[in-house]
C-alpha cells in the first residue's frame, strides 16, 4: 500500500499481516469511507485485515487520495453514491461480506436542515440494512455515537459510565435524535434473515468525541487561535470532563468488530460498545491544548473569562443571527446553545466491554495518539503558510 505521512503505519501490532499467506477472500464495504473516520477505517483495513480481497469505498464525495490505494494487493473500488438512494446502496452492498456503515451527516452547527440530517442518518441507515437483507450480506457494523446516550437535554453529567450505566437519554437536537433512531434500527435488525436464510449480525460502536489527523473542528480551533494572535480564551470550566478517543483506535475497533462478528455472533450481535482508549479525561478546551499548545497556542485563563449567563446569551444570539442571515449566507459559528451545553456537561466513559467481548486493546497509546495529532496540526500550519 502506498504510504501517507499523515497516517503512517501502526506500530507493531500485526505489522506485515497483510503480507502473510492467509487467504484473501473477503469483500468489505465502508460507507462514508472518505470522511474523517472513514479514511482511517479504510487505511486500517488495508493494513490490518489480511483476509481482505476487495475493499469498496462508498461516499458522496470521493477523495483524490483513493487513487494511491489502488496500486496495492487489495482491490480498492471507489463508489460515488448517496446512502439516501436505496438502489445505489444495494448495488454497492451486493456481494460484500461485511458492511461498515460510517457515512453520516455530523452537524451540530445548523449547517443542514433537520430533515436532511434525518434523511441521511436514519433513512440512509435503513437503506443499508435493507440492502444487506436483500443481497445476503450478513455482517453490519454501525458507527453510532456517544450522543445517543448524552449529554441529555437536562445537562446531567455522565461520569465514567459504561454501556449499562442508567442515564436519561432524552434529546431534542436533530443530530443525536437521528443517531439514536439509526442505532435502534441497526440493533433491531440483528437476527433478521438475509437472502439465503442466514441471520444478519449487527452491532453499534459509540465513539466519544473523536480527535486525530483530519479532525476539522481541531483545525477550526487552530485557525481561530492563529487569528487571535496565538491565543484561545477559556470558556468552559476546567473541571468539566469530556470523553475523547483517538481516531486510529476508533478505526481499529471497527476492524476488530468486523473481524470478530462472525465468530462471536451470539455474544456480539445486537450489542453496543462505547469506543474508548487511554486518552486522558479533560475539559474539551484543555484536551485540545494537548495538541494546540505544542503548536504555539496558549489557552488564556484558569477560569472561564466570560460568565456562563453571557455565553448562554451569545449562543442564543448566534441562533438568531443564523436565522436572520440565512437568506444571505450560512452563518454557523462553533458556539450555539447545543454545543455550549455539550462542552459544559461532563460526559466520560469507563468500560471494558469491548475488551471482554472481542479482545479490544487500543492500538495507539495516548503518547502516540498525541504525537501523531500534533504532527498533523503542525502540517496543517505548514500548509497554511
Ligand X SMILES: NC(=O)C1=CN([C@@H]2O[C@H](COP(=O)(O)OP(=O)(O)OC[C@H]3O[C@@H](n4cnc5c(N)ncnc54)[C@H](O)[C@@H]3O)[C@@H](O)[C@H]2O)C=CC1
Which does residue 37 touch among ligand LKOQVBFM, ligand X, none (CB within 5 to 8 A, set by kind)? Answer: ligand X
Q: At what angle do helices 124-135 and 174-189 cross, to 10 degrees?
A: 20
Residues 186, 126: Cα–Cα separation, whole Å: 8
| All three cell numbers of 254 | 471497527
Question: Which 236-275 residues touch ligand LKOQVBFM, going by CB under 6 A?
Answer: 236
Instruction: Look at phi and psi of residue 134 and say left if phi exceeds 0, alpha if psi is from -120 to 50, else beta.
Output: alpha
The SS3 of residue 164 is: coil
Give min distance, CB of 277 to ligand X, in A.
13
Residue count (the chain): 385
Binding region for ligand X (CB under 6 A) out of 32-40, 149-157, 163-171, 329-337: 32-40
Give min distance, CB of 199 to ligand X, in A.
24
Binding region for ligand X (CB under 6 A) out of 46-54, 59-67, 131-139, 340-348: 59-67
Asked if 183 is part of the footprint of ligand LKOQVBFM (rule: CB under 6 A), the reply reads: no
Give min distance, CB of 105 to ligand X, in A.
5
Question: Which 153-192 residues touch ligand X, going by CB under 6 A?
Answer: 179
Place of cell 445505489: 88
Largest CA-CA distance found in the chain, in angstroms, rounded:
63
Q: Which of 6, 17, 15, 11 is nearest to 65 (CA)?
A: 6
Nearer to ligand LKOQVBFM among residue 48 and residue 143 (C-beta): 143
Binding region for ligand LKOQVBFM (CB under 6 A) out of 153-161, 339-347, 348-356, 369-377: 339-347
The SS3 of residue 207 is: strand
Binding region for ligand LKOQVBFM (CB under 6 A) out of 78-86, 93-101, 270-278, 331-339: 331-339
Which does residue 285 touch among ligand LKOQVBFM, ligand X, none (CB within 5 to 8 A, set by kind)? Answer: ligand LKOQVBFM
Give min distance, CB of 72 to ligand LKOQVBFM, in A.
31
Q: Which of 47, 102, 123, 346 binds ligand X (CB under 6 A)?
A: 102
Residues 131, 269: Cα–Cα separation, whole Å: 18
Asked if residue 283 lies in contact with residue 238, where contact means CB atoms within 8 angstroms, the answer is yes
Asked if 145 is part of the footprint of ligand X (rule: CB under 6 A), the reply reads: yes
Nearer to ligand LKOQVBFM among residue 47 and residue 373 (C-beta): 373
Dihedral, 133, 136, 139, 140 alpha carbons, nearest 10: -40
Binding region for ligand X (CB under 6 A) out of 30-38, 157-165, 223-231, 367-375: 30-38
Residue nearest to ligand X (CB): 35
Residues 73, 100: Cα–Cα separation, whole Å: 21
Q: Is 360 exposed, middle or buried (0-12, 13-18, 19+ CB in 10 A)?
A: buried
Asked if 210 is part of the footprint of ligand X (rule: CB under 6 A), the reply reads: yes
Residues 28, 42: Cα–Cα separation, whole Å: 10
Question: Could you confirm whether 281 is annotated as catalytic?
Answer: no
Give min distance, CB of 146 to ligand X, in A.
6
Give min distance, CB of 214 to ligand X, in A.
7
State the DSSP H helix or E strand holding residue 31, giving kind and residue range, or none if neither: strand 26-31
Q: Hey, how many other C-beta atoms are within 10 angstroms of the C-beta on 1?
A: 16
Residues 325, 217: Cα–Cα separation, whole Å: 22
The number of angstroms, rounded, from the C-alpha of 122 to the middle of its chain's C-alpha atoms is 16
Q: Which of 28, 142, 175, 211 is catalytic?
A: 175
Give min distance, CB of 219 to ligand X, in A.
12
Residues 357, 250: Cα–Cα separation, whole Å: 16
Q: Which of 283, 339, 348, 369 binds ligand LKOQVBFM (CB under 6 A)?
A: 339
Asked if residue 179 lies in contact with residue 138, where contact means CB atoms within 8 angstroms, the answer is no
Contacting positions for ligand X (CB under 6 A): 32, 34-38, 59-61, 82-84, 102-106, 120, 124, 143, 145, 179, 207, 209-210
Contact residues for ligand LKOQVBFM, defined by CB under 6 A:
106, 108, 145, 147, 209, 217, 235-236, 284-285, 334-335, 339-340, 342-343
Amino acid at each position: 500500500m502506498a504510504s501517507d505521512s499523515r497516517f503512517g503505519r501502526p506500530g507493531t501490532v500485526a505489522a506485515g499481516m497483510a503480507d502473510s499467506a492467509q487467504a484473501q477472500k473477503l469483500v468489505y464495504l465502508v460507507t462514508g469511507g472518505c470522511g474523517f473516520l472513514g479514511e482511517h477505517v479504510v487505511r486500517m483495513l488495508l493494513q490490518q485485515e489480511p483476509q481482505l480481497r476487495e475493499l469498496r469505498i462508498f461516499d458522496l464525495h470521493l477523495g483524490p487520495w483513493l487513487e494511491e490505494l489502488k496500486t496495492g494487493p487489495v482491490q480498492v473500488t471507489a463508489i460515488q453514491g448517496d446512502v439516501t438512494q436505496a438502489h445505489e446502496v444495494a448495488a454497492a452492498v451486493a456481494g460484500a461480506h461485511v458492511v461498515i456503515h460510517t457515512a453520516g451527516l455530523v452537524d451540530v452547527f445548523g449547517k443542514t436542515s433537520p430533515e436532511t440530517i434525518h434523511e441521511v442518518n436514519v433513512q440512509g441507515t435503513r437503506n443499508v440494512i435493507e440492502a444487506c437483507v436483500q443481497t445476503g450480506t450478513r455482517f453490519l457494523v454501525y458507527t453510532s455515537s456517544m450522543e445517543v446516550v448524552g449529554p441529555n437535554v437536562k445537562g446531567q453529567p455522565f461520569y465514567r459510565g459504561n454501556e449499562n450505566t442508567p442515564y436519561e437519554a432524552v434529546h431534542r437536537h436533530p443530530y443525536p435524535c437521528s443517531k439514536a433512531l439509526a442505532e435502534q434500527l441497526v440493533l433491531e435488525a440483528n437476527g433478521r434473515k438475509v437472502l439465503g436464510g442466514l441471520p444478519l449480525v449487527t452491532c453499534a460502536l459509540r465513539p466519544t468525541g473523536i480527535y486525530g489527523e483530519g479532525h476539522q473542528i481541531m483545525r477550526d480551533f487552530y485557525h481561530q487561535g492563529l487569528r487571535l494572535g496565538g491565543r484561545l480564551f477559556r470558556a468552559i470550566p476546567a473541571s468539566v470532563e469530556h470523553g475523547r478517543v483517538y481516531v486510529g483506535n476508533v478505526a481499529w475497533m471497527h476492524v476488530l468488530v468486523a473481524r470478530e462478528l462472525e465468530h462471536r455472533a451470539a455474544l456480539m450481535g445486537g450489542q453496543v460498545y462505547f469506543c474508548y482508549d487511554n486518552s486522558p479525561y479533560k475539559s474539551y478546551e484543555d484536551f485540545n491544548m494537548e495538541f494546540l499548545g505544542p503548536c504555539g497556542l496558549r489557552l488564556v485563563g484558569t477560569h472561564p473569562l466570560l460568565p456562563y449567563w453571557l455565553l448562554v446569551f451569545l449562543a442564543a444570539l448566534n441562533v438568531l443571527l443564523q436565522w436572520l442571515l440565512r437568506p444571505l449566507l450560512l452563518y454557523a459559528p462553533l458556539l450555539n446553545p447545543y454545543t455550549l451545553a455539550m462542552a459544559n456537561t461532563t460526559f466520560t466513559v469507563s468500560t471494558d466491554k469491548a475488551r471482554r467481548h472481542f479482545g479490544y486493546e487500543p492500538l495507539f497509546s495516548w503518547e502516540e495518539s498525541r504525537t501523531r495529532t500534533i504532527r498533523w496540526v503542525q502540517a496543517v500550519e505548514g500548509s497554511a503558510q
